[in-house]
Structure 1
Amino acid sequence: MLITQTRHDVDFYKHVEIQRDRKINHIRSKIPIINYESAIVELVRENLFSLVSGGTGCGKSTQIPQFLIECGFNFSVSDEKNKTKILKICMTQPRRAAVESITNRLKFELGSFSENVSSHIRNKYDKCSSDEYLVIMTEGILLNIIQSDILLSNFSVIILDEFHERSLSSDILFGMLTYIVRLRAFLWNKNKINIPPLRVLLMSATYKLFGKPILDFDALLNDFSFQKLEIEDKIFPVAVHYAKKTVKNNLPAVASKIKKIHNELPAGSILAFLPGKKEIQFVHKLLSGVNGKNNEISFDADIDNITAAQLEGFADSSNNILPQSDDEFNDSIGFDFDEDKNNKELSVDSDIGSIRKKIKTGEAASNETLLETDPDSNVERASLDEDIKKKEYTEWKGADGNGTLTVYEFYSGINEQTFAKIFNEPKPSERIVILATNVAETSLTLPNVRYVVDSGYMKYKTYNQLTSVGSIKTVNISKSNAVQRTGRAGRVGRGHCYRMYSAETFSETMKNFMTPLLLSTPLESIFLQN
C-alpha cells in the first residue's frame, strides 16, 4: 500500500512575504537552482520523501529552505493546550562548520526575516528571539531530538543535506525517518493528531556517480510517494591535471605545487585538501620556510628537494605527524598496490590511456576538462593564457615576485575567529591558500578559489573486528570525494584541479563511494547515547 497524505491540506500553505535587499535579489537571480523553485516546491508538497540532486554550487543548501518558507511549509497548528504553534523546517548538516556557515548566509539573504532562523550544534543553541521558522543543526542533534519526540511534532519538513556522504548519523536518521513518516501519516489519516505528515527531502551533489546511485531509493521507499529531481549543473569548467605517478607521501609535492601556482599562475586563491590537522600543520611548516613569520610566507625552504630524513625529523618532533615506516604508512593510507606497481613509475602514456577510457565511459564530471598531460606541462600554461584573454581572471598584482601568500588552516574544531578569516577576500598583492580537510568538500563556498590541490587522502573511521578496536586512519578518497573536491575550483570562475595521484590510481584503485560507516562500525555508541 502506498503511504501518502490523503486528508486535504491546502489550507496549510500560506505564502510568506520576505523583503530582501535589491542586491541580494540580483545575486539570487544568477543562482542555477532559482529556475527550479516551482518544481522543487511541487516535489516536496506532493511527496512524503523526495530527493534533489544538483552539482556543487547550484544553491541547494541556501535556496531550498527559503523556497519552502516562502511557500508556506511552516504550518500553524494547535498544540495539546490549544495554543497555536508554527511547525519548523529543519535542515541537517554533517559538520558544525557547515551549520555555522550556512546559517550566516541564510540570515544575510533573508534580511529582517533572519530573526526567524536559528542554528543548533553541540553545546550551542542559537535560538530565535521570535517565531522559529528554520533551524539548521548537525545530524547528531536531530537524533537527540527524536529520543524525546518520536513524532518530531515541532517540524513540518526535514532536509538531510549532503546525504551522499553516508555518515553513520545520516544513515540511522534515514532509517528512523521512514518509520516516523509512516507513523505520522497513519495518525493523521485516522484523525489522531492535528499535525500533517512529515516530509523528508534528501539533497546530494553526487546522487549518481558513473550511473550508479548511492542507494536504491526506489526499493527502500517503495511504500511511499517518492520522486527525484536533478538540477542541471551550470558550474564553471574545471581543468583536471593528474600526477605522473602516485607516491606514498605526497605532502612535499602538495607544498611544491602550491609554491608553483603562487609564483607562476594568475590570480586566484588555492584550496588544498589534506587528510588531517597534523598533515595541515606539516604542509604549513613547509610553506613557511626558515624566515616565515605567522601567516607571512617566504619560500626559503627548498620544498622540491626535501629529504626523507627531514620528514622523519619533523614527524619525531610533531607527535608522529607522519608514520615512521613504509609498512605503517601503507597500512594507514589503505592503498593496495601490488609490489610491481608500487615500485615502477607510472608513465604519462598509461595515464592518457586511463583518461581516454574515463572519457569514453562517461566517468568525467560534467564540468571536468581532462588534460592528457602532466600537470607541469605547457598545456597548463596555455589553458590559463586562454582564460586571461577571455578576462576570466583578474590581474595578479603579485606576479612581480612581491606577492604575499597568506596561509589559513581549516579543519573541524577551529575557533570562530579563524573560521571567519577564511572567507576574507585577498588584497590586490595577496594570494590566499587554505589548507583544509574534507570539511571543505561540501556546503561551503570559499571565496575566490580557482585552484584546488587534492592530496587524494582523507581520515576515515575503521573498525577491526578481530580486536574489537576502532581507529581513525588515513585512507585514499573515493571518486565521489574527488569529484566534490574538483567542484570547489569551479564555483566563482574557470578553475584548475591538481590531483596529486595518477589517472590510473583514480580509475583503478579508488572506489566510487566510501564504504558506509553503518556497514563497518559498531553501533553501540549511537544506541547508548544519553
Structure 2
Amino acid sequence: MEAAHTLPVWAGKDKIVQRIRDNDTVILVGETGSGKTTQVPQFLLREGILPSEGQHMIGITQPRRVAATSLARRVASELGCADPATLKEKQEHDGLPEWVGYSVRFDDRTTRHTRIKFLTDGMLIREILGPLPRRRGKPERNFKETNEYSLKRYSVLIIDEAHERSLRTDMVLGLAKRIQRDRRNRIEAGEANVYPLKIVVMSATIDAERFAQFFSHGQPVPILYVAGRQHGVRLYHTEASCQDWTDAAVRTMMQIHVSKPLGDILVFATGQEEIEAMAQSLKLYAAQLDAWAEEQGRDSVPTLLIRPLYAALGPSASAAVFAPTPKHTRKVVLATNIAETSITIPGVRYVVDSGLVKEKVFSPQTHVETLQVLPVSQSSSLQRAGRAGREGPGECYRLYTREAFQELQLQPTSEIHRTELSGAALQLYAMGLDPFTFDWIEPPATSLLHEAVLQLAELGAVDSRKDTVQLTPLGQRLAALPVTPSYARLLLAAAERGPEVASQARDLVSILSADRGLFVDVADPEKREAAESARDQFVDTSGDHATLLNALRAYLLAQQHAFQSHSTPAAARQELKMWCQTHAIHERTVKNVLAIRKQLIRICLQHGIECADDATKSAAAPDDGESESDDDALIVTRYGASSTRDHEQSYADLLQCLGMGRLSHVALRQPDGSFRRIAGGQSFKLHPTCVLHPSRHGARGISSDSVQAIVFEELVMTSQTFARTVSKLEPVWLQALLAAS
C-alpha cells in the first residue's frame, strides 16, 4: 500500500484546507491516483475544520457501495481506527477509536463517535428525507423541517466522483445547495447553534466551471487542481471486432500471463455473470500451466490469483482485491466499471478493456427500464486505460478496433437522461419539493418526469388536484420505506392480506433487492442440466417469484439443520457451502439476501407491517454476508425458518399483490407464444432461465394454455428482448387489477 504522505495531494494540503476554511464551496479536480478521496477528509479532521461543540461529521458520498466500504476501511487503517466493517453497537475494539464509518444500503457501520462517514449518494438522500409519518392522516412536512433534522451533524459534505453524474449524485448536488443556502440564511438571521455546511465537489474529470457556477450563490467558487501520478500506457487494439469478448479477454489474459513481466491485470467486464464465467475459465487454464511450462521447456509460470470485484461482494471479499500480491504471483482482478475511477487497485500494470458497460436504460415510449450492454464512452475508455499507469509504465489491451474507439461518444450519457425517475420524484415530493422545478444541475427531459408522475399515480402515491401534484397518505408511507416504490407498494399491499403474506413479501423483496439472482447461471452445457435438475425441487408452477422464495426458505431449513447437527460453527458452514454447491445456489448471494432480510425485518416492525415471524425478532441477527460469528449463526438458525412451511404453501395472495400498481410490468400471451405488455404494447419473449419458459413446461407440469398473463421484474435487451423473473397471473386477478387502475 502506497505511503499516504507520498501522494500528490499532500503537496497542496495547506492550500486545500485554507480554501475550504474560507469558502462555503470548493471544487477540487484531482487526477486519478492523487489521493484526494482518502486524504482530504483526514486533512480536515486533523486541521480542526469541524466545530468543537457537538458531534459534527465529515460526510463523503460515493456513487457505489464497494467504493464507500473499501475507502472507509482504508482511511480507518491510516488513522489507526477500528475497522468499520466490524463496528457493531456496544462492541469493544481494544481501545481503537471509532472515528471512521460507512453507511450503504441495508448496512450502517457508524456509531456516535463517527467523525468521517463514507456513504452512498442514496443513503445521504434518505438521511435528508428523514423519518416520515408512518400512519395515515399525518400532515406533510416542508423541506426545511426534513433537512433540519437530517444533516445537522454534517459540517462538511464531500461529493466525490461527481463526474459520473448518477441520478442520486445530481439529487445530492441540488439538495446540498439548498441546505447550504438555508443554513447560511439562518446564520445571518442570528439563529443560534447553526453551523454553515461546507461543500467540496471532487472528481478525477469534471466540468469544473459548470459546478462552480451551480454553487456560486452570487459569489465566485474556487477551483483547485491536484496533479496525479500517471505513467505512460501503451495501447493495443484488435484488428477486427470480437465476436465473443469474454473468450477474447480470457485468451488475452493468459497471453499476458505467460509472456509479460510480473504485474497485476485489471479486466473491465460488464457484470457479475460474465466475471464468474471468466473466473471459471481462468481456473481451468491455470490448472494446466505447470504441465504447459514443462512441455515448453520453460521455468515454472507464476501463480495466477483470481479476484472478482463487483457490487454484490461484501466488504471482506472486496478487501482481498486491494491486498498486496504475493511473490511469484500475478493477480487478475475481474471488475465491472466500478474500478474506473471510484477506487485505486495497487499493482496493476496491464488492463484488458472489453469496451462495454451494462446499464439500465428507460424509455418513456415503452414505459419500461431495460438492462442493456452498451459501448463505453471515450472518456471512460481513457479512464480504464489510465489504471495501468498508476505505478509505472503500463499496457492496455482494448478488445475493439481503433475505428470503433473513434466512433464512441465523447462522454457518457448522464443517468438522469436514461433512467426511470419515479423513485427520485417520490422522494422529492416527500420533502415538499417539486421535481419539475427542483434545482437540477442538468434538468431531465420533461417527458421522463411526466412518466415518473404517471408511475406514482398508478401506485396511488400521488394525486393531481388543480394542476398540482400532491403526495397521498399512501405515498408518504411508500416514501418512508427504503426500497423502490414498487417494492414498497408490494410490502404494504401484502400487509393488508395478513402476516403470512407480509412475511412472504418481505422475503421476496430481500431477494429482489440483491444485486443478482440466487441461482448460479452455469455456462458449461454438461453441468447446466445437473444444475437445473438440482433446482427443480424448488420450482413452483406459478413462476420465478415463488421458486426463489422456496429456495431461500429451503436454505434457512438447511442452515437450521447444519448448526443443530454439528458441534462447531466451522463444520456447519462447510455443510452449508456444500448444500449451496449441490443446489446451484450462490452462497454469497444468499448471505447478502439474509443481510437485507435482517434490515427489512426491523423496517417492517418500525412501520407497522406485521409479519408471521414477528414473535422471533431475533431472526434479524447480524450477518455481514461474509462471515458469521458463532452467536449470530446460532440465532439466525434457531429462529430464521420459524415461518417456513413446505413447498405446497400458497403464494396466490402474494402474486396478486405483485401486480398492484405495476400494470407496466404486466403482459398478455400472444398467439405466437410471445408476450405483449398491456401498457405500451412492447413484445418480448421469456428468458430461457424462467420457470415458465416453454422449454420447461412438460417437465414441470406447466401448460402453455395456463400461462396467459404474467408479471415480470425486468426486461433484458440482447439480440432480442427477454423478460426475467416472471410469474403468471390468473385472469380474474388481472380483471381486478385493471378495475383498480
TM over 0.5: yes
| 1:410 paired to 2:309 | yes
1:47 pairs with one of 23, 29, 53: 23
Whether the aligned pair in 1 keeps the contact of 2:162 and 2:201 (CA below 8 Å) is yes
Aligned residue number for residue 400 of structure 2: 501
CA 1:224–1:237 in 2, change beyond 3 Å: closer, same or farther?
A: farther
| 1:150 paired to 2:147 | yes
- Counterpart CA distance in 1 for 2:288 and 2:209 is 48
2:58 pairs with one of 82, 89, 102: 89
Deviation at 1:299, TM superposition (A): 6.1
Task: With a CA cutoff of 8 Å and minimum separation of 6, indicate the structure with the bigger relative contact order.
Answer: 1
Mapping of residues 484-499 of structure 1, within 5 Å: 484-499=383-398
| 1:161 paired to 2:127 | no
Whether the aligned pair in 2 keeps the contact of 1:297 and 1:406 (CA below 8 Å) is no
Deviation at 1:277, TM superposition (A): 1.1
Amino acid at match of 2:260: L
Deviation at 1:193, TM superposition (A): 4.0
Whether the aligned pair in 1 keeps the contact of 2:242 and 2:400 (CA below 8 Å) is yes
Deviation at 1:481, TM superposition (A): 1.4
Whether the aligned pair in 2 keeps the contact of 1:161 and 1:203 (CA below 8 Å) is yes
- Counterpart CA distance in 2 for 1:193 and 1:480 is 47
| 1:221 paired to 2:211 | no
- Counterpart CA distance in 1 for 2:7 and 2:303 is 32
| 1:452 paired to 2:351 | yes
Amino acid at match of 1:156: S
Aligned residue number for residue 282 of structure 2: 287
Aligned residue number for residue 367 of structure 1: none
What are the ranges of 5 or more consecutive residues in structure 2 without an aligned counterpart?
Answer: 82-95, 131-145, 427-478, 481-741
Q: Provide the alpha-carbon RMSD of the alignment.
A: 2.4
Whether the aligned pair in 2 keeps the contact of 1:119 and 1:126 (CA below 8 Å) is yes
Deviation at 1:124, TM superposition (A): 1.8
| 1:33 paired to 2:9 | yes
Deviation at 1:158, TM superposition (A): 0.4
What are the ranges of 5 or more consecutive residues in structure 1 without an aligned counterpart?
Answer: 1-23, 78-84, 208-212, 303-397
Mapping of residues 89-488 of structure 1, within 5 Å: 89-111=58-80, 114-128=97-111, 131-148=113-130, 149-151=146-148, 152-207=151-206, 213=207, 216-225=210-219, 226-289=221-284, 297-298=287-288, 400-488=299-387
Whether the aligned pair in 1 keeps the contact of 2:19 and 2:222 (CA below 8 Å) is yes
Which stretch shows the higher mean deviation, 139-148 or 194-203?
A: 194-203
Q: TM-score, normalised by structure 2?
A: 0.50
Amino acid at match of 1:28: A
Greater share of residues in helix: 2
CA 1:408–1:187 in 2, change beyond 3 Å: closer, same or farther?
A: same
Whether the aligned pair in 1 keeps the contact of 2:290 and 2:301 (CA below 8 Å) is no
- Counterpart CA distance in 2 for 1:201 and 1:502 is 39
1:514 pairs with one of 412, 421, 439: 412
Amino acid at match of 2:420: P
- Counterpart CA distance in 1 for 2:314 and 2:4 is 30
CA 1:166–1:235 in 2, change beyond 3 Å: closer, same or farther?
A: same
- Counterpart CA distance in 2 for 1:119 and 1:422 is 19
Identical-residue share of aligned pairs (%): 33
Q: Deviations over 1:397-421 (max 9, x none)?
A: x972432222222111113443232
Amino acid at match of 1:523: L
CA 1:441–1:399 in 2, change beyond 3 Å: closer, same or farther?
A: farther
Aligned length: 392
Whether the aligned pair in 1 keeps the contact of 2:32 and 2:229 (CA below 8 Å) is no
Whether the aligned pair in 2 keeps the contact of 1:48 and 1:224 (CA below 8 Å) is no
Whether the aligned pair in 2 keeps the contact of 1:58 and 1:235 (CA below 8 Å) is no
| 1:523 paired to 2:421 | yes
Q: Deviations over 1:312-355 (max 9, x none)?
A: xxxxxxxxxxxxxxxxxxxxxxxxxxxxxxxxxxxxxxxxxxxx
- Counterpart CA distance in 2 for 1:35 and 1:177 is 29
Deviation at 1:487, TM superposition (A): 2.1
Amino acid at match of 2:288: S
Which stretch shows the higher mean deviation, 511-520 or 278-287?
A: 278-287
- Counterpart CA distance in 1 for 2:298 and 2:257 is 8
